[in-house]
Amino acid sequence: MASPRLTEPGLQRLEHLAAGVTALSGEDRDAIREQMERVLASPVFRNSRRNSSLLRHVVERSLEGRPDELKERNIGVDVFGRAPDYDTNSDHVVRSVAGEVRRRLAQFYMEPGHETELRIDLQAGSYVPQFRFPNEKAAGAPKRAPAEPPIVGTPEISVAGWVERTPRRRLWVLATGALLAVSLAAVLVVRYAGPRSALEKFWSPFLSSSSPALVCFGGGGQGNPTAESNLALSVSEFERQPFRRMHTADAAALAGVAGLLQASGKPYRIVNRASATSYRDLQSGPFVLIGGMNNEWTLRLTSGLRFSFERLANGARVSDKQNPANNAWSVDFTTPLAQFNRDYAIVSRVLDTQTEQTVVIVAGIGSWGTQAAAEFVTRPEHLRKLESLAPSRWEDKNLQVVLATDVIRGSSGPPIVLAASFW
């Protein structure tokens, strides 16, 4: 079925609709409804009744000329069957589902083939949808939308607590993981061996250096693995030292990156803790930093970039220097794990001015984000999404990408591109 397109007068009426005017022709309304059905039938929406119901409701109310009815309480009553006097402060179903609808819409339009379709947007801070083509500026869009309130709870086990209590593997798991990653990377290299693939473009500034690469991951606690005092410990005691551990998600990320470097023939060495890495180490050649809030070098080297990590009272967020009021990309560490469903990450590839080396940073707020970021930089299908947003000769530019990943029962999903910057 061909993608619905509107005439120029139709576009003007759609812009008026975003501002509350309802002068739409029947043809225009049919085109919007047809696109809505296409979105709802996609894999992103078709298995979620709540998300589909909310999107259908807000689109239909707008097309009926009743956007003023799209308030949180009204939607809670009409879509989710809440009592007319229900407490919106304690029951955040509308806000939660609307946030998920926004994320799924963004994911739908990021998929290849949807770029030229009529676009349905649900801006943060509003339940009134907007309709536009990719190159059209939506009328009535807020200049700076307020962030959705975070999910607050007093759980027995929080996100932070789960991360702390989850068993961590010793470094020997990397051997098995790296072997598997090498095999996977080798298959990918053979399969996507095109001379200018997105994977090659992303890694070319890094791989073109004649110096061996350094891979540095965070976490592991304090301590010096080479300290003479450790000689007095038994093997069992030494193995239980904090610096002998790392999070399994970081280990998976490390294995994926190491496998790609191995398959590309790039010599590298692994530094087992960020706190044991010096400026001199980082100045020796290109390097990869794995981990966000648990890697001090990541925090330090991204602090001057557009996208960086910022600690909050009860969590952390991805901060955007061009929109510092945006709190949408944040994680509340007190959220019960059963309700936690979203993590965020930053992928950076820059020529670092401090070390004068190319650095690739693969970092999430939590371990789920780090794992999704590693998947993003090692899988051609994900990097092709980045290429679709990039300017010409992007392989020669510095870049940053903000990612999200859905978390289901403690496992991260595929990376979703939220924003990108090239310079």
Structure tokens at 179: 């072997």
Question: What is the residue-averaged pLDDT of the chain?
Answer: 77
In this model, does residue 233 exceed pLDDT 90?
Answer: no
Whole-number pLDDT of residue 320: 95
pLDDT of residue 273: 61
**Percent of the chain at pLDDT above 70?**
71
Residue 10 pLDDT class (50, 70, 90 cuts): very low
Summarised one tens digit per residue, pLDDT across range 277-324 is: 777 888 889 999 998 888 888 999 999 999 999 999 989 999 999 999
Tell whether the model's pLDDT for residue 101 goes beyond 60.
yes
**Which has the minimum average pLDDT: 76-80, 271-275, 384-388?**
271-275
Mean pLDDT score, 265-273 = 81
Model confidence at 152, pLDDT cuts 50, 70, 90, reads very low
Split at pLDDT 50, 70, 90, the class of 164 is: very low
pTM exceeding 0.85:
no
Query: Which range is least confidently modeled, 227-231, 247-251, 265-269?
Result: 227-231
Instruction: Check whether 88 has a pLDDT greater than 70.
Output: yes
pLDDT tens figures, 13-37: 444 344 333 456 778 888 899 999 9
Residue 188 reports pLDDT greater than 70: no
